[in-house]
């Protein structure tokens, strides 16, 4: 982030943001939410609970859609409501196929969906916001390393340390892209697009890590992907419609373009 902002000569914007106490408080809340999300996700991976993590990120888009409708007053077209219902059925089937209370899934879902809402509301430049969020989390990360240093130095091979360092970059790039998308798309629209990530996690858990499957899980997977296919088709048809007589002036507004 430091190199990116230096290359874009945006440190004056960073200084301006640091003088805005309200924005800093919102960013602190966003940092705590995404930090909690990262912590629980890493815990899920280490405990072999990737399918439950996948469930959490399946629930996240539904919460994002609901937050977009309830807080941001966004709207859905009829076919998009149908997609929402299909995805909801898929998520319910996925939850019923598991065992025990899915606290990992719920924590991941609520933390990241509310993180997206907070970042949507404050409208800060994505790279600057991500830099300040990670800066807020830095003291917590240093404290964690201090108390667990012996585990890191004795329990990991050199390759593992390299992979952990690479994981930071792999995490930062999609999060930066996510925050860029928040500036351009409705929260409800972005919510449906978020099903790609948990679907990849689902496939990795089943075919690479050999986590157990059953017919109900496959059925839930099918419901979600049908919803995604219909949502994509609806969006494609909506944007292919010829503009109406008033569309020229409407399309000139960046706020109306983003609202679509």
pLDDT in tens, 24-48: 999 999 999 999 998 999 889 888 8
Q: What pLDDT is stored for residue 100 in this prediction?
A: 66
Confidence (pLDDT) at 30: 93
Residue 12, pLDDT > 90, answer no
pLDDT confidence of 249, banded at 50, 70, 90?
A: very low
Mean pLDDT over residues 224-230, rounded? 81
* Concatenated DSSP letters of the chain: -HHHHHHTT-HHHHHHHHT-HHHHHHHHHHHHHHHHHHHHHHHHHHTT-HHHHHHHHHHHHHHHHHHHHHTS-----HHHHHHHHHHHHHHHHHHHTS-S--HHHHHHHHHHHHHHHHHHHH---HHHHHHHHHHHHHHHHHHHHHHTHHHHHHH--HHHHHHHHHHHHHHHHHHHHHHHHHHHS-HHHHHHHTTHHHHHHHHIIIIIS-----HHHHHHHHHHHHHHHHHHHHHHHHHHSPP-TTHHHHHT-HHHHHH-
Give pLDDT, residue 151: 64
Task: Name the pLDDT band for 8 (thresholds 50, 70, 90).
Answer: low
**Can you give the residue ranges of every domain in the chain?**
2-78+101-197
pLDDT in tens, 163-192: 776 777 777 777 778 777 777 777 767 766
């Amino acid at each position: 982030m430091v190199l990116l902002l230096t290359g874009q000569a945006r440190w004056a914007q960073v200084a301006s943001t640091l003088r805005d106490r309200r924005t800093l408080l919102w960013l602190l809340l966003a940092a705590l939410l995404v930090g909690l999300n990262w912590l629980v996700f890493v815990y899920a991976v280490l405990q072999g609970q990737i399918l439950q993590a996948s469930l959490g990120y399946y629930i996240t888009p539904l919460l994002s859609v609901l937050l977009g409708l309830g807080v941001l007053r966004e709207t859905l077209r009829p076919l998009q409501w149908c997609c929402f219902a299909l995805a909801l059925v898929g998520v319910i089937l996925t939850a019923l196929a598991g065992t025990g209370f899915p606290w990992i899934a719920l924590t991941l879902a609520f933390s990241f969906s509310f993180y997206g809402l907070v970042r949507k509301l404050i409208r800060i430049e994505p790279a600057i916001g991500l830099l300040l969020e990670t800066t807020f989390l830095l003291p917590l990360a240093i404290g964690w390393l201090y108390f667990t240093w012996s585990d890191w130095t004795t329990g990991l091979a050199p390759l593992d340390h390299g992979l952990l360092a690479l994981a930071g970059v792999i995490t930062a790039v999609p999060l930066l892209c996510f925050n860029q998308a928040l500036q351009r798309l409705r929260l409800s629209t972005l919510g449906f697009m978020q099903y790609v990530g948990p679907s990849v996690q689902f496939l990795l858990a089943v075919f690479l890590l050999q986590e157990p499957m059953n017919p109900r899980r496959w059925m839930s997977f099918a419901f979600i992907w049908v919803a995604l296919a219909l949502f994509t088709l609806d969006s494609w048809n909506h944007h292919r419609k010829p503009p109406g007589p008033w569309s020229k002036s409407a399309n000139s507004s960046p706020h109306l373009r983003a609202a679509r």
